Amino acid sequence: MSWTAVGVDFGGTKIRAARIAGGRVEDEATRPTPPEDPTMILGAVTDAVAAVHRPGCPIGVAMAGQIDRRSGVVRSSPNIPGRNIPLGPSLEDAFGVLVILDNDVRLAAAGEWSALGETPSLLVALYVGTGIGAGVLLNGHPLSGSHNLATEAGHATFIPGGELCSCGRLGCFEAYAGGRALAQRARRLLAQRGLGAAPLDAAAVIRMARHEDPAAAAVWEEAVEALRTLAWNLSVLFDPEVVVLGGGVVRGAPELLEEIRSHVEEQAWSGYPPPGIVLGHPDAAVLGAARTAWLEYHGG
């Protein structure tokens, strides 16, 4: 069925708005995310949407943080300073259409489902970037939980009493395999060896591990183990048809896909097919945001 809606991927460094028609990006505009002022940030989102919007098109916005889906208010987000920013109502006023706002991971999972032809009965999407997030869709419907907090997989426990996570708990998967944690752990080990504390990101850690730097290799090996374990835990809990992997760390280390696939296949129930392990779609966030907005607009 042909449909048109605008999807927005609201990131920490850029805001990408795309007009999606029949499941494909038809037009897109990108604006840098202004660093501080919420008014300027609202202006930048409005500007990006205006560049691609057509009269009557519903709008979906995907962003990290605590989002009140019903009111369209951003309770808190790493990408907007302050609290309770009325992003949804502000876009509704500007464009006079339905606007939905939701967690970026959940909307991206909806985009993966859409990109796979809307057929998987149960889909798990696992994103490993700065942090770790997951989305679960049952026949295309996201599992959101009682407080919109379901499947916060990065904060499930990998090692009880282990590393301190950004959420304040100990031993979360994210504290071992999230991009930020990877960089911090490698830096700490290098400093212990008296090798200074030069700025380091996850991509640099992966590169150093490939060149057999012992500190980076130890940190990376544990991250891979955490991700294999997490992918299997999600598989055994949800019995998915497909597990989609995405995010900066996965894109930076495509060999992860095979590592995870072989582990999940090894662990899978005998006599049943293991879930397919596939790489995420690059447009998943804008696609899922647009598709969800369109379905809501048409009462789907």
134 binds Zn ion (CB under 5 A): no
Among 4, 6, 120, residue whose Cα is nearest residue 60: 6
164 binds Zn ion (CB under 5 A): no
20 binds Zn ion (CB under 5 A): no
Question: Which residue among 169, 180, 207, 251 contacts Zn ion (CB under 5 A)?
Answer: 169
281 binds Zn ion (CB under 5 A): no
The amino acid that residue 293 corresponds to is: A
Q: What's the closest the beta carbon of residue 132 comes to Zn ion, in angstroms?
A: 9
**CA angle centred on 161, ends 202 and 153, rounded to 5°:** 55
Q: What's the closest the beta carbon of residue 163 comes to Zn ion, in angstroms?
A: 9
Return the number of the residue (4 or 157) whose C-beta is nearest Zn ion. 157
Question: Which residue among 167, 191, 236, 237 contacts Zn ion (CB under 5 A)?
Answer: 167
Q: What's phi and psi for 266, nearest 5 deg?
A: -65, -40
Q: Helix, strand, coil % (nearest 5) of the chain? A: 40, 25, 35
Region near Zn ion per CB under 5 A, out of 149-157, 192-200, 206-214, 245-253: 149-157
CA distance 274 to 292: 29
Residue 227 is classified by DSSP as H
185 binds Zn ion (CB under 5 A): no
132 binds Zn ion (CB under 5 A): no
Residue 172 is classified by DSSP as B
Q: What's the closest the beta carbon of residue 131 comes to Zn ion, in angstroms?
A: 8
**CA angle centred on 64, ends 250 and 189, rounded to 5°:** 50
Region near Zn ion per CB under 5 A, out of 166-174, 248-256, 265-273, 287-295: 166-174
Q: What's the closest the beta carbon of residue 149 comes to Zn ion, in angstroms?
A: 12
CA distance 213 to 116: 39
Q: Which residues bind Zn ion (CB under 5 A)?
A: 155, 165, 167, 169, 172
